[in-house]
Amino acid sequence: MLYSEKVMDHFSNPRNVGEVENANAVGQVGNAKCGDIMQMSMRIEDDIIQDVKFKTFGCGAAIATSSMATELVKGKHIDEALALTNKAVMDALDGLPPVKVHCSVLAEEAIEAAIADYYKRQGKEFTPKKACGGCCHDCHQEAE
In the complex, the residues that contact ligand FES under the rule CB under 6 A are: 31, 34, 36, 58-59, 61-62, 103, 106
Which positions ≥6 away from 120 have C-beta within 8 Å? Answer: 126
Tell me the C-alpha distance between 118 and 9, whole Å. 31
Which residue in 59, 103, 132, 139 is the catalytic one?
103
As measured in angstroms, the least distance from the Cβ of 12 to ligand FES is 16
How many Cβ atoms from other residues are within 10 Å of residue 120's Cβ?
12
As measured in angstroms, the least distance from the Cβ of 104 to ligand FES is 9
What region does 95 belong to: left with phi over 0, alpha with psi -120 to 50, or beta? left
As measured in angstroms, the least distance from the Cβ of 119 to ligand FES is 26
Local structure of 31: helix, strand or coil = coil
Instruction: Identify which of residues 62 and 114 has a Cβ nearer to ligand FES in the complex.
Output: 62
Instruction: Identify which of residues 48 and 135 has a Cβ nearer to ligand FES in the complex.
Output: 135
* 34 counts as catalytic: yes
